[in-house]
């Protein structure tokens, strides 16, 4: 069956370091993949989209890679700040354009 | 623009009671979605709509009904609430289907507890 997995354990890093979050999928061939940020008590907010023919996408301190051979996306936050603390969700496009979400990884950046 | 709004923000129901969650968007989006989010489970699609007057089932539709009588509104109904429906419910909208657009816009969520 189709499956999306993100690091279930929370990621704790020091301010200024690079945070790397992983999204793995099986039995999918998605056309693209999205990353969202979710703060406690709020809805997810779109961050980045990367298409299957793109290896890497950047936006300010954010970088996403997409390896369709490994069936994996990596989400990097460079020079992390305490304000980056949140849960990060990856989402793949399923048939009919519907999104399938991973369970999310909680990131905590300590000052 | 208010974006996507949801009413109510919190609700407590007893088993067997019914209720309707309202989602409204002011972005003239065609597509609207209802998700539920449970700890460790991620967001799961309940129902969605590709335009006014249309609805379709998502991944976990049982126990829920929806209606899209107006383009800007998407209603989620629970006819006979069960404790398994305790969850946080999110509404989202997008201009066209997810293949063609970069993003879904989410509401703030409704926290529902069924006793």
Out of A42, A91, A97, closest to residue B108 by CB = A42
Q: Which pLDDT score, from 0 to 100, does residue A28 have?
A: 79
Task: Give the separation between CA A69 and CA B78, rounded to whole angstroms.
Answer: 42
Q: Which residues of A touch B25 (CB under 8 A)?
A: none
- Do the Cβ atoms of A103 and B100 come within 8 Å? no
Task: Give the separation between CA A22 and CA A38, rounded to whole angstroms.
Answer: 16
Task: Give the separation between CA B18 and CA B78, rounded to whole angstroms.
Answer: 5
Out of A31, A46, A102, closest to residue B102 by CB = A46
Q: Where along chain B do its domains lie? A: 4-107
Q: Where along chain A do its domains lie? A: 1-54+87-111
Task: Give the separation between CA A87 and CA A11, rounded to whole angstroms.
Answer: 10
Chain A touched by B34 (CB under 8 Å): no
- Do the Cβ atoms of B104 and A46 come within 8 Å? yes
Task: Give the separation between CA B85 and CA B77, rounded to whole angstroms.
Answer: 11
pLDDT in tens, chain A (111 residues): 678 899 878 999 999 999 999 999 988 777 788 999 999 999 999 999 998 888 899 999 999 999 989 999 999 999 999 999 999 999 987 766 678 899 999 999 999
CATH for the A1-54+87-111 domain, from 2.70.160.11, 3.40.50.150, 2.60.40.10, 2.120.10.30: 2.60.40.10
Question: Higher confidence at residue B101 or residue A49?
Answer: A49
Out of A8, A98, A104, closest to residue B98 by CB = A98
- Token pair for A13: 């890093």
- Token pair for A59: 């936006």
Of A36, A38, A22, A37, the closest CA to residue A75 belongs to A22
Q: Give the CATH number of domain B4-107.
A: 2.60.40.10
What are B55-87's pLDDT values in tens digits? Answer: 999 999 999 999 999 999 999 999 999 999 999
Chain A touched by B98 (CB under 8 Å): yes
Q: Which pLDDT score, from 0 to 100, does residue B45 have?
A: 94
Q: Which of A6, A29, A30, A99 to mutate to test the interface with B (most CBs of B within 10 A)?
A: A99
Task: Give the separation between CA B38 and CA B93, rounded to whole angstroms.
Answer: 20
Beta bridge partners of A109: A13
Q: Which residues of B touch A35 (CB under 8 A)?
A: none
DSSP three-state, residue A98 = coil
What is the nearest CA distance from A87 to chain B, expressed in angstroms? 11
- Token pair for A104: 């999310």
Task: Give the separation between CA A64 and CA A73, rounded to whole angstroms.
Answer: 7
Q: Which residue has the tokens 């999110």?
A: B90
Report, in this order, helix, strand and coil percent for chain B, each rounded to 5.
Answer: 5, 50, 50
- CA dihedral sign of residues B50, B75, B86, A41: positive
- Do the Cβ atoms of A93 and B108 come within 8 Å? no
For chain B, the residue count is 115
Q: Which residues of A touch B104 (CB under 8 A)?
A: 46, 99
Q: Which residue has the tokens 């997008």?
A: B94
Q: Which pLDDT score, from 0 to 100, does residue A72 have?
A: 93
Residue of B nearest to A32 (CA): B99
- Token pair for A109: 């950046």
Lowest mean pLDDT among A7-11, B14-18, B84-88, B105-109: A7-11
- Phi first, then psi, for residue A36 (nearest 5°) are -125, 155
């Amino acid at each position: 069956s189709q499956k999306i997995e993100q690091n279930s354990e929370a990621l704790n890093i020091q301010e200024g370091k690079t945070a790397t979050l992983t999204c793995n999928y099986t039995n999918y061939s998605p056309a693209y993949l999205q990353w969202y940020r979710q703060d406690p008590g709020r809805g997810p907010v779109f961050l980045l989209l990367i298409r299957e023919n793109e290896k890497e996408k950047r936006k300010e301190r954010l970088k996403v890679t997409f390896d369709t051979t490994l069936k994996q996306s990596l989400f990097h936050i460079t020079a992390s700040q305490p304000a980056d603390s949140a849960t990060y969700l990856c989402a793949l496009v399923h048939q009919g354009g519907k999104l399938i979400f991973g369970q999310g990884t909680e990131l905590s950046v300590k000052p | 623009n208010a974006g996507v709004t949801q009413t109510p923000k919190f609700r407590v129901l007893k088993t067997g009671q019914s209720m309707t969650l309202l989602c409204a968007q002011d972005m003239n989006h065609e597509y609207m979605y209802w998700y539920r989010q449970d700890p460790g489970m991620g967001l799961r699609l309940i129902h969605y709509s590709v335009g006014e007057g249309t609805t379709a089932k998502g991944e976990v539709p049982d126990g829920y009904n929806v209606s899209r009588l107006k383009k800007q509104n998407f209603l989620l109904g629970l006819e006979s609430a069960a404790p398994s429906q305790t969850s946080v419910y999110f509404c989202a909208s997008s201009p066209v289907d997810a293949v063609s657009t970069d993003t879904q816009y989410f509401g703030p969520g409704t926290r529902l507890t069924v006793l």
